[in-house]
Amino acid sequence: MDLPINPAAVFDIVGTRKDGGIDTVIVCSGPLDNSAATLRSLDIKVRNYLREIASDNFIQQCGSGPVRIFVSCSHTVSTEAEQLINDLANLAAQQRVFLLLGEPVA
């Protein structure tokens, strides 16, 4: 079974904004359904991003500006996946990281 989120890769996309902030993107290749496997891979991926964003290596390479994580999904998102993203957004906020479902904007 192919999962819509690949938890193995650390970052799908990272970019530095003109204001010094950093945008990271989690790309989904299919619907974020409510299956245990999909929810687990999404949870792992976000937690991996949060761990890496806090690392010295990330800060040295990208800076320490405000960080946003976008879960970019042009497919359907189940209520359970959306709730998981909201729960993880609260965890991310403790790190002063914004976690959002949607596309980055300039």
Residue type, 64: S
7-45 pLDDT tens trace: 777 799 999 998 989 999 999 999 999 999 999 999 999
Using a pLDDT cut of 90, give the percent of the chain over it. Answer: 76
Beta strand spans in the chain (E): 13-16, 22-27, 67-72, 97-101
Q: Which residues contact 10 (CB under 8 A, 6 or more apart)?
A: 48, 49, 52
Which domains, ranges and CATH numbers included, belong to the chain?
13-101 (3.30.750)
Q: How far is CA 92 from CA 50, 58, 89, in A?
A: 7, 16, 5
Mean pLDDT across 40-63: 94
CB 7 within 8 A of CB 49: no
